Structure 1
Amino acid sequence: MMNGLARVALMTYRGLGVCAYPVVSPYLLWRAAKGKEDRRRKSERFGYAGVARPQGPLIWIHAASVGEMLSVIALVRELRRLDIAVLLTTGTITSARIAAERLGGDVIHQYAPLDLKPAVSRFLDYWHPDVALTAESEIWPATMAELEARHIAQVRVNARLSDRSFARWSRHQPMAELLFSKLSLVVAQSDLDGERYRDLGAWPVVVSGNLKGDSDPLPVDEGELQKYRRQIGQRKTWAATSTFEGEEKAAAMVHRALKAHNDQLTIIVPRHPERADAIEAMLVEKELKVARRSRGDVITAETDVFLGDTIGEMGLYLRLTDLVFVGRSLMTETGGQNPMEPAALGCAILSGPHVENFREAYQKLVRNGGARIVKDVEVLAKAVHYLLTNDMARLRMIDASQATVQDMRGALSATLRALEPYINPLAMKARLEPRAAAQ
């Protein structure tokens, strides 16, 4: 009975998608006006191709936004070494820009089609991928139904489910089983994630570890890095990165509390740079002198805060310090941000208590001594002060964080082993078939 209702709900969802299709265009134009869609490539969201499909086998990899896209870069490169064409779709302008910077011509990039049957059908009719890989946690019912109808294997890599998502799906178990059972394979980040996918109906499930542990270090423009290092000189630095609303104010409070004791420069890198004007206004109101990266401001001895309000330059900001507070964890209960990138670049890690999206990584970092969890702004200020003034303690944390990253490597090779039944036939086919663009 419940399974029947779940099927009816899925059919209703697909039908509503067909009805909504004609009125979606104004919504996308509104998003484009907000800077959230690429107006020039809006047609891709309706499933229209922007480039020619190459002949031969093709794997479709969908990575919703920046975090997911960065996690699959190493996997994409391994697939390309096998001469398998890769179609990479993303959902945000930022992730598209970073994909172009990091992968260039190694992949075909398109914006993901909307989860509406006409758009997905048009997309699949043109690209007809041999396998569809999705990263981490997104569930798109119409897309999954269309892939199943065409007998295209659906594989979830670097799979995770947050506490909130798992609780939500568990309340709708029949619908969860209907959708999660469509996955041909799940390669999970952790034992807990694997157990959650199994509980919701996915099978088979294997555990590989987190692909972010195998990611290349974030890139940097060496000229810009050296320029800012000269401007900073011998001043101590700490950074608050991937911050959400309220956490920039917390960083400002920490800076003001420590200013009389340390000649420190505070680096703030908001998760959404479009908030930079409001953040700067808040900092100026607190009588702090701000230099903004987007304006090319010079960091002087009087600068209190360097505001990293650009996209795709986290590698620069993290190399300007060795003490990082990772945001989305203190003033908001939304699960934290990835600590592996600053750890890999030699930073001691501080975080608020809300880190459930990266629970395993934080557990290992904290257990090894590479990260500390702070419960509020007062404790954050004390931790920053202690680590800025105690070089030995900070260096021990840095060593521990880098060792943790090394220990967590191996997810890429485990993922590739799990994917062998899907990619080995394609690699053989790619070697036997000539490669050329389809007409």
Structure 2
Amino acid sequence: MYRQLALSVAVGLKPGRRVDAQTLWAPRPEGLLLWLHAGSAPDLAALCHLIQRLEQLEPMPEILMTMQEGLSCPCAMPDHVLVQPIPQDNIAQTTAFVQHFKPDFGLYCGAPLRAGLLWAMERQKVPLILTNARATDIDPPGFRLNRPAHQALALCFQHIICRDQSSARRINRLRPGLAPALPLGRLEEGGITPEANPRIVDHLRPQLTGRPVWLAAHTRAGEEPMVAEAQRQMGRYSHRLLCVIAPSEPERGGALADGLIQQGWRIARRSTNDPITEDVQIVVVDVPDEMGVWYRLAPITFVGSSLVSGYGGQDPFAPATLGSALLYGPNVGGYLDSYSRLVNAGGARIVKDASSLAQGLQLLLAPDKAAAQAHAAWEVTSRGAEVTDKVLEILQEQLDDKAF
């Protein structure tokens, strides 16, 4: 009762009107259910990345995802992820939400903390993890009579992962006797290394030996003429430069190759397993599931769906995990935070047209420049790995507990 009163002080919890959960939310998935909540756009991007890593859990739970009002998923969710609206933070809606879905455990990422919903989870005895925590999110400075409310909020979580040491110290004072808050940093969006058939890599690598190679990945029809023009301009500086174009829809590769041949380019198509001889200027990847191959073979990647509007860009972290230096266009609204992190670290360079793409390529053909940029990008993708690993460890322990 004391903690309920304390949390009521924290947010002024109101009873709210009685709600019909069946009309507000989808049916509960069967089996074990993990609730994920994102407090901000970067937190949401981090959870989207984490969802891919959750596949290593055994057994893999169904996932219920909510997010702060105004956010939307930056990419399509797998079938086992149910995205639902967040309940209003009053007693009626939060209670109905928790009793309807009955999560087996939960992960709350970032702020603001919805005290009413967290208290409803705690009453239902849902074990919760908090990541990306700052002390000010739980224990803001100011009127000290609110301290019991802040302490009650901190006690809702079994595990807390903080951004820094000072936050961990302050939060630990609020929850004596519980698992100490860990100052591991942020759970961040990172890269999942794409798979590749090693036999294909080993078959292609000797054909590229001694030649500078760049990849235009996930290109759209409006970008491919600019890619070809950049390759033409680069011929003045590097006549042995090989361009690899992987269109976003591999089925367009045949028409793309035919058009390039008509323009005088010497082409090798992957669908016909053409050898990449010394005179080949452009390789067209018109088969599915080879992006991981070319990310491993090309030290420079232009990440497409970004020079023309309407597509929102593509995930830059996939090539970055494999040590590729990155170029990209200005239309990356779907991955803006990812590109901002890369640019701020010196791990990516923006281009706007064929000429600036050629200039970016010319710069990165210097091995030291490409290596420095690729290393910076790789470091960005690997940040937060310790947090991700710790979250997966805790979740697996909770899954194991559910099995007994």
Shorter-chain TM-score above 0.5: yes
- What residue identity is the alignment partner of 1:75? L
Match of 2:312 in 1: 335
Answer yes or no: is 1:112 the counterpart of 2:112.
no
Answer yes or no: is 1:427 the counterpart of 2:400.
yes
Answer yes or no: is 1:396 the counterpart of 2:372.
yes
Aligned counterpart in structure 2 of residue 76 of structure 1, from 55, 61, 81? 55
Root mean square deviation of aligned Cα: 4.7
Match of 1:122 in 2: none
Please give the secondary structure, in 1, of the residue aligned with 2:60. Answer: strand
Gaps (5+ residues) in structure 2? 1-15, 37-45, 64-77, 86-95, 111-119, 138-155, 164-185
Aligned counterpart in structure 1 of residue 293 of structure 2, from 301, 316, 336? 316
- What residue identity is the alignment partner of 1:259? G
Match of 1:413 in 2: 389
Match of 1:280 in 2: 257
- What residue identity is the alignment partner of 1:350? L
2-structure distance, mates of 1:379, 1:298: 30
1-structure distance, mates of 2:308, 2:131: 28
- What residue identity is the alignment partner of 2:324? C
- What residue identity is the alignment partner of 1:112? D
1-structure distance, mates of 2:343, 2:266: 34
Match of 1:95 in 2: none
Aligned counterpart in structure 2 of residue 250 of structure 1, from 189, 201, 226? 226
Deviation at 1:257, TM superposition (A): 1.8
Q: How does 1:127-206 map to 2 (within 5 A)?
A: 134=81, 139=83, 149-152=100-103
Q: In the alignment, is the contact (CA less than 8 A) between 1:324 and 1:342 conserved in 2?
A: yes
Answer yes or no: is 1:297 the counterpart of 2:286.
no
Please give the secondary structure, in 2, of the residue aligned with 1:386. Answer: helix
Structure 1 residues 71 and 276: CA distance shift in structure 2, 3 A: farther
Match of 2:199 in 1: 223
Deviation at 1:324, TM superposition (A): 0.7
Structure 1 residues 139 and 313: CA distance shift in structure 2, 3 A: same
Match of 1:212 in 2: 190
Q: In the alignment, is the contact (CA less than 8 A) between 2:54 and 2:60 conserved in 1?
A: no
TM-score (structure 1 length as normaliser): 0.56
1-structure distance, mates of 2:207, 2:323: 21
Structure 1 residues 140 and 328: CA distance shift in structure 2, 3 A: farther
User: What's the CA shift string for 1:380-432, capped at 9, x where partnerless?
Assistant: 111112322x2222222122222333334334136447xx5x765532131x3
2-structure distance, mates of 1:415, 1:320: 32
- What residue identity is the alignment partner of 2:253? A
2-structure distance, mates of 1:244, 1:157: 37
User: What's the CA shift string for 1:332-353, capped at 9, x where partnerless?
Assistant: 2433211112112111111112
Q: Percent identity?
A: 27
Q: Max radius of gyration: which structure?
A: 2
Deviation at 1:307, TM superposition (A): 1.5
2-structure distance, mates of 1:294, 1:308: 7
Gaps (5+ residues) in structure 1? 15-46, 48-52, 90-110, 114-133, 160-181, 195-202, 433-439
2-structure distance, mates of 1:328, 1:400: 23
Structure 1 residues 372 and 427: CA distance shift in structure 2, 3 A: same
Number of equivalenced pairs: 305
- What residue identity is the alignment partner of 1:76? E
Please give the secondary structure, in 2, of the residue aligned with 1:369. Answer: coil
Q: In the alignment, is the contact (CA less than 8 A) between 1:190 and 1:209 conserved in 2?
A: no
2-structure distance, mates of 1:69, 1:395: 28
Aligned counterpart in structure 1 of residue 60 of structure 2, from 73, 77, 86? 86
2-structure distance, mates of 1:190, 1:298: 53
User: What's the CA shift string for 1:313-370, capped at 9, x where partnerless?
Assistant: 2221111110111112111243321111211211111111222333333223222222
2-structure distance, mates of 1:330, 1:277: 22
Match of 2:41 in 1: none
Please give the secondary structure, in 1, of the residue aligned with 2:217. Answer: strand
Aligned counterpart in structure 2 of residue 259 of structure 1, from 213, 231, 235? 235
Q: In the alignment, is the contact (CA less than 8 A) between 1:190 and 1:210 conserved in 2?
A: no
Match of 1:22 in 2: none
- What residue identity is the alignment partner of 1:286? Q
Q: Which runs of 4+ in 1 moved over 6 A?
A: 67-70, 145-148, 156-159, 182-191, 203-207
Structure 1 residues 370 and 301: CA distance shift in structure 2, 3 A: same
1-structure distance, mates of 2:402, 2:303: 44
Match of 1:381 in 2: 358
Structure 1 residues 139 and 88: CA distance shift in structure 2, 3 A: closer
